[in-house]
Structure 1
Amino acid sequence: MNINFLEIAKASMILFAVIDIIGSLPIVVKLKANAGGKIESGKASLVAGGIMLLFLFVGEKILGFIGIDVGSFAIAGAFILFFMALEMVLGISLFKQDENMVKTASIVPLAFPMIAGAGSMTSILSLRAEYASINISIAIVINIAIVFLVLKMSGWFEKKLGTGGIAIIEKIFGIILLAIAVKLFTTGIKNIFY
């Protein structure tokens, strides 16, 4: 095992920026309201962490097996993020809510694709080229712990920020999410054509 604290710190910061759980608070609050106030923080965190760790070790092989390159995967993720960002910025609802939302909100869309989405997965594949897998694994665990704490405290954040504060954060981070979607899209296009 080659544990390197500098690699862990760098990988943790990159994943923290991509996962952007603080910026996703407005979405979490909205999901919580749509799901009848029930978001299972532990379940969402464990599923997201499991998906990210699995993707770290076998993601590229799975994508290769089904004939999908990393660029195409990034573009697909960019579309999902783009529509989520449009909802945040424009205050519209594009995703259909159904009666199963209460049962699945902690897994879809919270654990996947919000936390363990195309952005975090393509970042994990990029990190693999530079850092040891053990260090990336530790960085993932650190980020999942942060995600768990933020999800657990989402009610507290909602009370402190209020409806107006949440609305402002939603618009700001909607624009940031839109920029991330565009970046993922352009990176995916470059990977496919160059």
Structure 2
Amino acid sequence: MAFATFFATVGVADIAFIFAGLTRSYTPRQRFVAATRGVLIATGILLFFSFVGNVILDVFGITLPALRVAGGILLLLIAIDMVFARHTGGTGTTTEEEAEGMTREDISVFPLAMPLLAGAGSISAVVLFTTGARTDLEFWMVVAALVVTMLVAWLTLLVAIPIQRLLGLTGMSVVSRVVGILLTALAVQFVFDGVRDSGLLG
């Protein structure tokens, strides 16, 4: 479940097109360096939130049920965007951010690492899963799922242009919509669990 959520919120199915567009003037070597640096930075950001998530909740007085409901709502909005092929700032870059990124020589930090890979959705998902882990084993399984997701994202970036040519716009849209449907159900489940654990229903 964690891997599927990270896969969707990181936007692995979408980053090929964006990265290919941002690096169309790059050499293969420059594309490799940008992809590697961006993924490493994004992984560091997400791992940071995975280890300090509980501290952040304690500082702001946020309960786990409240986080589950909030995270579920955010994931639901992202899933709806994926199903209807709309692009906002939840899983990737907005139009303004992408336009700014096109003018930069190094896109590895912005917009690749943030907000394309480590965006609001993926950070929320990381905090949600790590703080909800009941045992050390569950926690490390979540961390492992995160690392695997970022590895898949890195591999996807490396073959971005071939994937774009192979699947085309229609193929990528189908993948995105299927993942979006699954994420919708998962987001609703998060909200149900949060309301149930909050005690609001008695």
TM-score of the pair, normalised by structure 1 = 0.70
Equivalent position of 1:61 in the other structure: 55
> SS in structure 2 opposite 1:127?
coil
**Does the 8 Å contact 1:75/1:188 carry over to 2?**
yes
- The change in CA–CA distance for 1:156 and 1:73 in structure 2 (over 3 A counts) is farther
Deviation per CA, 1:92-121, whole angstroms, max 9, x where unpaired?
A: 44555315652633111421235x332233
1:80 is aligned, of 74, 81, 96, to: 74
TM-score of the pair, normalised by structure 2 = 0.68
- The change in CA–CA distance for 1:50 and 1:80 in structure 2 (over 3 A counts) is same
Moved over 4 A (4+): 33-40, 93-96, 132-140
- The change in CA–CA distance for 1:25 and 1:58 in structure 2 (over 3 A counts) is closer
Deviation per CA, 1:51-83, whole angstroms, max 9, x where unpaired?
A: 333233321011111111222223333233222
**Does the 8 Å contact 2:7/2:149 carry over to 1?**
no
Q: CA deviation at 1:50?
A: 1.9
Q: CA deviation at 1:139?
A: 5.5
Q: How many residues align?
A: 180
Report % sequence identity. Answer: 22
1:168 is aligned, of 171, 174, 180, to: 174
Deviation per CA, 1:96-149, whole angstroms, max 9, x where unpaired?
A: 5315652633111421235x3322332222335241866765564444333322
- Structure 2: how far apart are the matches of 1:147 and 1:153? 10
1:108 is aligned, of 100, 110, 115, to: 115
2:4 is aligned, of 8, 17, 21, to: 17
> Which consecutive residues of structure 1, in runs of 5 or more, have no partner in the other structure?
1-13
> Which consecutive residues of structure 2, in runs of 5 or more, have no partner in the other structure?
102-106
**Does the 8 Å contact 1:89/1:175 carry over to 2?**
yes
- Structure 1: how far apart are the matches of 2:15 and 2:191? 24
RMSD between aligned residues: 3.4
1:52 aligns with 2:46: yes
